[in-house]
Chain A
């Protein structure tokens, strides 16, 4: 099992450009999440999908959109990138219950110039 995979690993964008971060899991998990991690800020939830067909905003959703393409895949889109979106982005997945562990992908390091 690959677990949670993310593409790309690194990306540099110019302000105003758009891009989509891809995430896939092969653990048959129902829930998927997108986080960003900034120095001194910890992990902050951007969006999550409790199950296929549903998405909800997290703590910092502004400037982002998501798509739960199917049970396996959950993508994060930046429509018009801003320097404030420079961060490391992690995708995670879990079964669904409140006691279920979240498993993280390797991350995407994004720089917006």
Chain B
């Protein structure tokens, strides 16, 4: 089982709708969780991090962490065309400062 898995396939959402992305991880000892956004041809940039169970909100973005079920999710409210990008889930399995990345989810916001 891969360390970090993201559900496959591009996600198309109408402008103004909520985009929901999910990520599962295999190492129960994982301590920190990150969501990166990557525009085509660009480098990943951090949009959210979360360490504790529950929700964390930052503007239109909400990260949700459930350590018991080993998943982390990202909600994008009021989706905008500028949110069209690939979103990468990253997990620090603990013990060192390496990150394991999922393959990413492409989000397409349709005006």
Please, how many residues of chain B have a CB less than 8 angstroms from a CB on the other chain? 23
> Quick check: A43 and B43 within 8 Å, CB to CB?
no
CA distance A97 to B49 in the complex (A): 14
Known pairs A31-B97, A42-B88, A58-B98; A104 contacts B45 (CB<8 A): yes
> Quick check: B97 and A50 within 8 Å, CB to CB?
yes
> Quick check: A98 and B97 within 8 Å, CB to CB?
yes
Which residue, B32, B42, B88, B98, has most C-beta atoms of chain A within 10 A?
B98
CB-CB < 8 A to B101: which residues of A?
Answer: 42-44
Q: Mark B13-46, 1 if CB is under 8 A from A, else 0.
A: 0000000000000000001101000000011111
Q: Mark A77-113, 1 if CB is under 8 A from B, else 0.
A: 0000000000000100010111111111111000000
24 sample A-B contacts, Cβ–Cβ < 8 Å, listed by A number = A31-B97, A42-B88, A42-B101, A42-B102, A42-B103, A42-B104, A43-B101, A50-B96, A96-B97, A97-B97, A98-B31, A98-B32, A98-B92, A98-B96, A99-B32, A99-B49, A99-B51, A99-B92, A101-B34, A101-B46, A101-B49, A102-B46, A102-B90, A102-B99
User: Could you tell me which residues of chain B, from 46 to 87, have a CB within 8 Å of some CB in chain A?
Assistant: 46, 49, 51
CB-CB < 8 A to B43: which residues of A?
Answer: 90, 104-107
Whether B10 sits at the interface, judged by CB under 8 Å, is no
How distant is B1 from chain A, measured CB to nearest CB, in Å? Answer: 15
A interface with B by C-beta (< 8 Å):
31, 33, 40-45, 48, 50, 58, 90, 94, 96-107
CB-CB < 8 A to A107: which residues of B?
Answer: 42-43
Selected from B32, B44, B97, the residue in CB contact (under 8 A) with A43 is: B44
How distant is B29 from chain A, measured CB to nearest CB, in Å? Answer: 10
CB-CB < 8 A to B44: which residues of A?
Answer: 43, 90, 104
CA distance A27 to B73 in the complex (A): 29
CB-CB < 8 A to A44: which residues of B?
Answer: 101
CB-CB < 8 A to A33: which residues of B?
Answer: 98
CB-CB < 8 A to B104: which residues of A?
Answer: 42
